[in-house]
Amino acid sequence: MLVMVGKVLGNNRYELIEKIGGGGMALVYKAKCRLLNRYVAIKILRPEFTNDEEFVNRFRIEAQAAASLSHPNIVSIYDVGQEDNIHYIVMELVDGITLKEYINQKGCLDWEEAVDITIQICSAIEHAHRNHIVHRDIKPHNILLTREGIAKVTDFGIARAVTSSTITMVGSTIGSVHYFSPEQARGGYIDEKSDLYSIGIAMYEMVTGQLPFNGDTPVAVALKHIQDIPVEPIKLNGNIPKGVNDIIMKAIKKEQDKRYQTASDMLSDLYRVLKEPDGGFIINEDLYEDCPTKRMDALGNAVLAKKDEYKIKEDEEMKKKKKAGDRLTVVLALITSSILIFIGGFMTYRYVVSSLLAAEDNNFVMGDYVGRDAEEVKAMLEEHGLKVKMNMKYSDDVEAGKVMAQDPEEGKTIKLGGYIEIQLDVSQGPQLITIPALRNTDYRLAQETLQQEGLKVTLLEEHSEEVGIGLVIRTEPDAGTEVKKDTEVILVRSLGPEIKKTIVPNIIGLTQVEAKKRIAERNLTLGKITPETGSNYVDKIIKQSPPAGTEVDEGTPVNFELEVSNEIIVNKVIRLIMPEKYDDTMVVRVEITPSDTNVKEVLMPDTEVKKTDFPITVAVPVPKGGSVLMMVYINDMAYLQEVVTGG
């Protein structure tokens, strides 16, 4: 791989700053978009894939398709491009770590936290599936967690672009085989249910801290996905409730038709398990078997044998009765007719009337369930042997968990034991939108992002010492807050640091020490001093710029010119005698009285000096041919008196 840091892609737009990650197919760099003045992440395809024309074409097509996805739990893709045989994707830069790193840090997650993260992942995948995009490489490495705890799915499109010739390379795996579905491992047909299997494996790892299948080689792991039954997570972590265990085991069924059929179905159970952690609402189809076939004795032979026995007895009786005369025949005929009539009536009631009554009992009449608790309705219908499917839908008007609509409608008669499935539209409450983290984002892009989520944006402006001009300082409500659609969000845009005004003081006639103090008091800075050499502490200022009384911005430099005197500068060293008598910090003042004026002057004003700063040196101006009386005070007590001459 060529050295990429410092390179600029996209017609001088994206400047690569540093490498922040990488995998089997691509390297990821932090970059700055010069056009929008924001930081982005750029994923660059490894060179070994750029020669596979089919791979590159599918890579671009899928990346462009993924760019059409807009969801708070999906990393946004901004651009796809190619330059000098470099294929790259520009995407949202997420400030956080991968879910894999988070699992490694914590060992295993609390089950409620794991369910919350899984709900966010599943919500993202549900959005992708609705847009006919199958991820095919769901794993904790491709889930980013922001500092606010928001999960974001990345690498859409790349997994689908992998061909059979690029499943492995140089001993590594593209799209970790530890999270493959059995059909992926077999090279079979892959659909939305394959993503749900991978989510189940990731959830297994979150709550146990380990993977269900491991092996020495990728092939060994793939075979375990196809053949082996994993240890139930509840056996590895006793703190996992049964409901969570059942969701995981259903998601990772080897047969596609026994798993969750849609992300919406899985989401429904994930929301429900937070309220009912002990479960009981997930049906394990493996528990049901067909009724075993048993060998039973044939009825025909027994009936014939019985009939022959009756025939013999009847012949004997007839011989006896014949002797009694023909009149008995009439009596027997009447008795026989009565018996036949009775039997006929009984059989009619037994098989006709009772069948009609049974048919009536085998029917169920639908009631009006709209507005009722969905779980209660579902339990009641299932008690009657009916199949029920709950379709979770957002609603601003209907309370969460209540039935919004039903099919069949009220009054409809349904045959029990049939194939009709009751459809219940259940309210999830209002659709909540998570406000994304937009700090330090260009305010125009942030405004567009919020509006695309269906939120109303109001712009406010504030000064900021930390956030650059035109970037977002914060949102109100804060990032990570869940709000309804059409909620007003205040976007606070930075005006940069606030510039305050001040008045330039008059420093004419002051020494440098005095002037510096005046300048600092007005929040101004020291500018150019002339002459640059040869000046002393006692030299007076004869000119200043800007002039005194001028209103300027705080921080403006003040320049001044000194009147150089004809004095001699003598450097005197002041040493600390018996330092144990003093604290670590003391106040030192130096005063001088020149012989030519006999006017006392402060050479060094009260200054805090540490004990470790001694010895200190002061420059004493001495008039030519004269002397200076120097007095040194420590903590306002006379410490040293000395006559300094220029000789």
Q: Which residues are catalytic?
A: 137
Beta-carbon count within 10 A of 46 CB? 16
What is the C-alpha separation between 603 and 619, in angstroms, rounded? Answer: 9
Indicate the DSSP class of residue 373.
Answer: B
DSSP per-residue letters across 142-199: GEEEETT--EEE--TTHHHH--GGGSEETTEESS-GGG--HHHHHT----HHHHHHHH
H/E stretch holding 19 reads: strand 14-22
From CA 490, how far away is CA 474, in angstroms rounded?
8
Helix (H, G, I), strand (E, B) or coil at 504: coil
Write the CB contacts of 504 (distance below 8 Å, at least 6 apart in sequence): 522, 524, 544, 546, 547, 548, 549, 550, 551, 552, 556, 558
Exposure of 474 in the CB half-sphere (CA atoms within 13 A): 8
CA 191 to chain centre: 24
| Structural contact between residues 502 and 523, judged by C-beta atoms closer than 8 angstroms | yes
For residue 579, the Cα-to-chain-centroid distance in whole angstroms is 61
Contact partners, residue 159, CB within 8 Å, separation at least 6: 135, 136, 137, 175
Cα dihedral 226, 228, 232, 235 sign: negative
Let me know: does 413 contact 365? Beta carbons within 8 Å. yes
Q: Is the distance from CB of 128 to CB of 155 less than 8 angstroms?
A: no
- The distance from CA 139 to its chain's CA centroid, rounded to whole angstroms, is 14
With a CB cutoff of 8 Å and minimum separation 6, the contacts of 595 are 623, 626, 627, 628, 629
Pairwise CA distance, residues 315 & 318, whole Å: 5
Q: Which residues, 6 or more positions from 491, have their beta carbon under 8 angstroms from its beta carbon?
A: 438, 443, 446, 447, 450, 457, 458, 459, 460, 472, 475
- Alpha carbons within 13 A on the beta-carbon side of 324: 11
Residues β-bridged to residue 413: 365
Distances from the Cα of 386 to the Cα of 365, 417, 609, angstroms:
12, 7, 90
